Amino acid sequence: MAALVVLPPAQAQGADIQVESDITDPNNTGPLTQEDSLLSMPGGERMMQEATNAIDSGNYSVAAKKLQEARQIFNQLSNFYQQLASSFSGIDNRVYESQRQKALETAEKRDEA
């Protein structure tokens, strides 16, 4: 017995269709935007910039607090990347090296803060 299936028309890959992603949809596996997240490289760098601004205005207690927060952010990110790298050790060396490099970069930012 044969069945006829009707499929929607195919779209070209280059189409500029903006689709609002639903973060509550479990089928949505795309990355979340990290630009406004505090636990991210831009978030830690923003914290360091706020500390620099506080230093420039002479507010040293706020600057010290912001730098401590930046160090904590970068330390958490570095630990996350190290754990992720170890998960891929021996499985996919490209992913392992990529995550290890990210761990190193965030550790350097932590030391800078």
pLDDT, tens digit, 9 for 90 and up, residues 23-55: 566 676 555 555 566 678 888 899 999 999 999
Q: What is the pLDDT of residue 60?
A: 93
Q: What is the pLDDT of residue 86?
A: 86
The pTM of this model reads 0.60
Residues of the chain with pLDDT under 50: 14-19
Q: Which helix (H) or strand (E) holds 6?
A: none
Which residue from 53, 77, 51, 76 is spatially nearest to 65, judged by alpha carbons? Answer: 51
Sequence spans of domains, the chain: 41-112
Q: Tokens in use for 98?
A: 């990529």
CA atoms of 21 and 66, how far apart (whole Å): 33
Contact 70, 113 (CB under 8 A): yes
Q: What is the pLDDT of residue 93?
A: 82
